[in-house]
Amino acid sequence: MKHEETIFSGFGGQGALFAGQLLAYTGMAENLYVTWIPSYGPEMRGGTAHCTVIVSAEEIGAPIVQRPSAAVVLNLPSMEKYEPLIKSGGYLVVNESLIDIKSEREDIHVLYLPASDIATELGNPKMANMVLLGAFVTATGLVSLETIAAQLTAHLSGRQQQWLEPNKQALQRGAELVSA
């Protein structure tokens, strides 16, 4: 049964919350149950931001979890915080452009991607979140890349529409890196 509890975490502005929302929209579009819940508080620019997204074939009880089945980490503090918490057999997706440590866990799948570098190459380092998301869904098979791209088209705000195609490419590049 499909059931993934994923934490997306990074500095404010890296798009951890948006990547999580996009996964939630995509899960909903694929007729799965979804919850998205942000960390919220007296946040400041440059602080960390994370959200928990649950995508499941069954109705979701708790919207937050102590031990997620996956974590997508955009920066070092997020790696340090969530790497130890991932359930055995789970996934850790690492932005290795900004995280220079490796996981020592052997009971989880760890994917390292130079996400910020790829995003910069595509025109905007802010698209690192999409590189990681593309890799994550491809590795887990949680939802399809096509549905994500369609949801991206629907939910990228007006002033961001100019970045639609590069974002789709970022998703694709992430996917290719894990399927290669």
Partner 1 sequence: MTKELLKGNVAFAEAAVRNGLQAYFGYPITPQSEALEHFSGRMIELDRVFLQAESEVAAINMVYGAASSGVRVMTSTSGPGLALMAEGLSYIAGSEIPVVVVNMMRGGPGLGNIQPSQADYNFMTKSAGHGNFHPLVLAPANIQEIIDMVGLAFELAEKYRTLVMIAGDGSIGQMMEAAELPPMQEISTARPAWAVTGAVGRAPNLITSLYLGAEKLEKVNIRLQQKLATIEENEIRWQEYETEDAELLLVAYGTVGRICISVLRAARQQGLKVGLLRPQTLWPFPTARINELAAQMQGVLVAEMSAGQMLVDVEHAVAGKTPVRFYGRMGGVIPMSAEILEAVKQVQEEVS
Query: Residue 97 Cβ, how far from partner 1 at the closest point, in Å?
Result: 29
**Residue 134 Cβ vs partner 1, minimum distance, rounded to whole Å:** 20
Shortest spacing between CB 33 and partner 1, in angstroms: 7
Applying the rule CB under 8 A, the residues between 140 and 179 that interact with partner 1 are none
Among positions 4-23, residues that touch partner 1 (CB under 8 A) are 21
Specify the residue, 62 or 101, whose C-beta has the smaller distance to partner 1.
Answer: 62
In this complex, which beta carbon is closest to partner 1, that of residue 84 or of residue 179? 84
Residues from 35 through 64 that contact partner 1 (CB under 8 A): 35-38, 40-42, 59-64
DSSP code per residue over the chain? --EEEEEEEEETTS-HHHHHHHHHHHHHHTT-EEEEEE--SS--TTSEEEEEEEEESS----SS-SS-SEEEE-SHHHHHHHGGGSPTT-EEEEETTT-------SSSEEEEE-HHHHHHHTT-GGGHHHHHHHHHHHHH-SS-HHHHHHHHHHHS-GGGGGGHHHHHHHHHHHHHHHH-
Q: What residues make contact with partner 1 under the rule CB under 8 A?
A: 21, 24-25, 28, 33-38, 40-42, 59-67
